[in-house]
Amino acid sequence: MHSLDNVIWQALTTRDSPFAESFEKARRFVREVTSLCAFEEPSPQGYAALAGLVGVGGTGALFLDSEYEPRPGWDLVAAAPLLQMVCENRGGRSVRSDSVESASAEIVRLGVQDSPEMVELADLTKPGPFGRRTHELGTFMGIRWEAKLVAMAGERLKVPGYTEVSAVCTHPEHTGKGYGGMLTAKITQGIRDRGEIPFLHVRRDNTRAVVLYERLGFRTRSTPHLAVLRRS
């Protein structure tokens, strides 16, 4: 199995294991970090283990190889087709990551003190599951405009040799300024500097983001499906 196949499971059983909760052949991130979860395989035993892990009324977000098929005991809360993209070379066009559009904005390193604003921005822009401890998964960078956090990007899933670029988002009042590209380029370069390969997940219908990532050198590797499930 490639390191990026069943990537949430592989992350939770390798480099992200300190954040893992487990039950039989299912794993999930602790709830304060993210709602992502996984099982070793999408079998009846896998779903039974996941049910034991999340509990009655509990939810979890999965990456599946194909569209979710209804199963007894589960309600589908949300679903989306995704692209898994990998940047294995430096062939993309450069994006300046050391400057922003105006003197009122600055790129900053984000940490625990910024968590409330990060959660607020993620709740507004919906880049994917994000919690008050998501920033603990790796490096997060943001852009502040007049002291307010208006854009961010960071690291999430980590497997041997690879780190995911995630939570790329910009406040609606500040789109079109190139902030997403700047922060993605900065996080991507930081991953490369450690000798790792950057990858990411994006909704297939988010054409604007896909074009940006392709410009930065990312290429589609696979087409997983996001399924957010609730145990009924």
Could you tell me which residues come within 8 angstroms of residue 229 by beta carbon, excluding any fewer than 6 positions away? 50, 59, 60, 61, 62, 68, 74, 75, 76, 77
Residue 168: what pLDDT? 97
d(CA 211, CA 221): 15
| Whole-number pLDDT of residue 89 | 75
pLDDT of residue 90: 65
User: What is the dihedral angle through the alpha carbons of 18, 73, 41, 32, rounded to the nearest 10 degrees?
Assistant: -20
pLDDT per position as a tens digit, 164-193:
999 999 999 999 999 999 999 999 999 999
Distance CA 118, CA 112 (A): 10
CATH number, span 85-221: 3.40.630.30
Question: Which residues in the chain show pLDDT less than 70?
Answer: 90-104
What CA–CA distance (Å, rounded) separates 33 from 135?
8
Parallel/antiparallel/unpaired status of strands 162-170 and 197-203: parallel
What is the rounded CA–CA span in Å between residue 71 and residue 68?
9
Contact 121, 171 (CB under 8 A): yes
Q: What is the 3-state secondary structure (H, E, C) of 50-73?
A: HHHHHCCCCEEEEEECCCCCCCCC
**Residue-range domain boundaries for the chain:** 7-82+227-231, 85-221
Beta strands in 16-145 (DSSP E): 20-23, 26-29, 37-39, 59-64, 74-86, 105-109, 140-145
3-state secondary structure of 182: helix
* pLDDT for the residue 96: 54
pLDDT score recorded for residue 197: 97
What's the pLDDT at 105?
79
Q: Which two tokens stand for residue 162?
A: 């690879």
**CA quadruple 48, 83, 193, 90: dihedral sign:** positive
Distances in Å between the alpha carbon of 170 and those of 18, 96, 194, 204? 29, 17, 26, 19
pLDDT at 18: 97
pTM of the full structure: 0.93
